Amino acid sequence: MAAEDTTRRTPSAKVVDIDQLATAVAAARAVGQRVVHCHGVFDLLHIGHLRYLAGARALGDLLVVTLTPDVWVNKGPLRPAFGEQLRAEALAALECVDLVAVNRWPTAVETVQAIRPDIYAKGGEYRDKRTPEIIAEEAAVTALGAQMAYVDDLRSSSSHLLNRHFSPFDDETQEYLLRLSENHATPSLLAWLERAADLRLLVVGETMIDEHVFVQATGRSPRAAVATMRLLTSERWLGAAAALANHLAAFCAKVSLVSLVGAEDAEERWALKHLQPGIKAHFLRKAGAPTPLTRRYRETYFGTPVFEVCRVDEEPLTASDEGWLLDRLDHLLPQHDAVIVADYGHSLLTAAAIGRIARQARHLSLHVQAQGTNVGYLSTAHYPRADYVCLTEQDLRLDCHSPYGELRTLLPLVAGRLRASVAMVTRGKHGCLAHSGESFNEAPAVATQVVDRTGASEAFVALSALAAAQGAPLEVVAFLGNVAAAEVVSSAYGPQPLQKLRLTRSIESLLR
């Protein structure tokens, strides 16, 4: 049986699914043709891609190309610039490409196993760039008895071209990223994440559950002046201190969590199940209290919140519960290099507990965030010291009793009171302002699309505190916090725990 002639295919006919691609490859190999397989994002086709694909085609008789699907592209904000179907059509229009398919998986490992090419070809730059994906793909190729090939030719980068000529950012943000890349080479920035693996971190604070209930407006009740909503579905995530610990688990070998949950209720069991593996959790189960929960109702048509309800218990701890907490702190504080306190005002952080932490923590990061149930009661004034403090703009203004004061005046006031060497105020879409000594660093936000702001604070605090604990420069602390927040708010799957590889790729993409 002769292999199907693909040379006369129209571009649209060249785009097939993975199963069809596997069948075509098998047919070509059955008649002795050598099949070459290339895989990548191919977000913006450029001369480097053309040389690479032409060189790969010269290695065999049939060139098949698979694409990373949109959902698995981790090249930073607003990437891919072109959707998977458009990227597939562009590749199919090239004469040297015989067949194109959109992948089903994050990497080409499963694809190589499914289509079984004779040669798997990558650009020459990957010969020395030993990413986890390349290592896994090479192993899959070797296991099949196929050949791994590297095509050396003109090198370029879609990310570099898109960032320089089609940037999603305004001029001010683009200039900021250019200055940052000039002052801090990407490897030196990423080194702060690599060195974090040696840090032993302790997170102290309440665990909360964030729940979104999706509803559809149907009209007005005929019996009362209220809007009626149809209940559709719901999603939930770990929030507050537990979310902070989940983010840190991707970067640190040892993360411990001291937190408060309800006493043996279903929510407490759900929270335990959704902690990242490796986190050593110490939970105070408060008798007669529920695990704190914030339930936000969202109308699906516009995607906007309708209202939210909070379920919390703010009764003071009993003497026995506080005794347990103090014993845990006395045991754990000497074992950790840095402590992050996430205080949401739900009774865990007693005056005695705050005193223990302030006296014994080697490096203390503080995040105090007012909730709807405790506005005006929660303040950094309860803390005698912190090495790094991070507040939202609203919380900073509440802390200083100043709705209109200049942030560059208010931030040093809080830093001075806490004797903090680094202080940070986050400003949502306006980025953040960092302060240390006599210096300020204003860093714009790097999120180009915001699906949901839930969990942004915890992500920002996790990465910025990680950098601050290592003594990173002020602009590095601010930048890493902004990148972490951007990762969380742009996710269509809710505030998932940060992933080290994905965050690394975002940093690399932003600074190209």
Domain ranges (residues) in the chain: 11-164, 188-205+239-291+326-510
Q: Would you call 2 exposed, middle or buried from its count of C-beta atoms within 10 A (0-12, 13-18, 19+)?
A: exposed
Neighbours of 318 (CB within 10 A): 12
| Residues pairing with 281 in the sheet | 257
Q: Are strands 439-443 and 254-262 parallel, antiparallel or unpaired?
A: unpaired
**Per residue of the chain (512 residues), what is the pLDDT tens digit?**
344 444 456 677 899 999 999 999 999 999 999 999 999 999 878 888 888 899 999 999 999 999 999 888 876 665 777 889 999 999 999 999 999 999 999 889 999 999 999 999 998 778 776 677 888 999 999 999 999 999 886 555 545 445 554 556 777 888 899 899 999 999 999 999 999 999 999 999 999 998 889 898 888 777 777 888 899 999 888 999 999 999 999 999 999 999 998 876 677 788 888 999 999 999 998 888 888 888 889 888 777 788 888 888 888 999 999 999 999 999 999 999 999 999 998 889 999 999 999 999 999 999 998 876 676 678 899 999 999 999 999 999 999 999 999 999 999 999 999 999 999 999 998 999 999 999 999 999 998 666 677 789 999 999 999 999 999 999 999 999 999 999 888 765 567 899 898 899 889 888 87
d(CA 243, CA 459): 8
CATH H superfamily, domain 188-205+239-291+326-510:
Ribokinase (3.40.1190.20)
d(CA 289, CA 314): 9
Give CA separation, 111 vs 23, 116, 122, 248, 397, in Å.
Answer: 13, 8, 14, 32, 53
**What pLDDT sits at residue 268?**
76
Strand order in the sheet with 338-343: 279-286, 254-262, 200-205, 338-343, 364-368, 388-392, 422-426, 432-436, 439-443
**What pLDDT sits at residue 1?**
35
Instruction: Output the pTM of the full model.
Output: 0.74
Strand order in the sheet with 35-40: 15-16, 99-102, 62-67, 35-40, 119-123, 147-151
d(CA 499, CA 512): 20
Q: Would you call 118 exposed, middle or buried from its count of C-beta atoms within 10 A (0-12, 13-18, 19+)?
A: buried
Cβ contacts of 209 within 8 Å, gap of 6 or more? 236, 237, 238, 239, 267, 270, 271, 291, 292, 293, 294
> Which CATH architecture group holds 11-164?
3-Layer(aba) Sandwich (3.40)
What dihedral angle (degrees, nearest 10) is formed by the CA atoms of 425, 192, 469, 510? Answer: 10
d(CA 126, CA 114): 23
Give CA separation, 255 vs 116, 196, 199, 203, 500, in Å.
Answer: 42, 11, 9, 8, 15
Q: Are strands 207-220 and 254-262 parallel, antiparallel or unpaired?
A: unpaired
What dihedral angle (degrees, nearest 10) is formed by the CA atoms of 168, 488, 192, 155? Answer: -40
CA angle 385, 433, 386 (to 5 degrees): 10
Structure tokens at 382: 């309860």
d(CA 209, CA 489): 17
Helix, strand, coil percentages (3-state) for the chain, rounded to 5, are 40, 25, 35
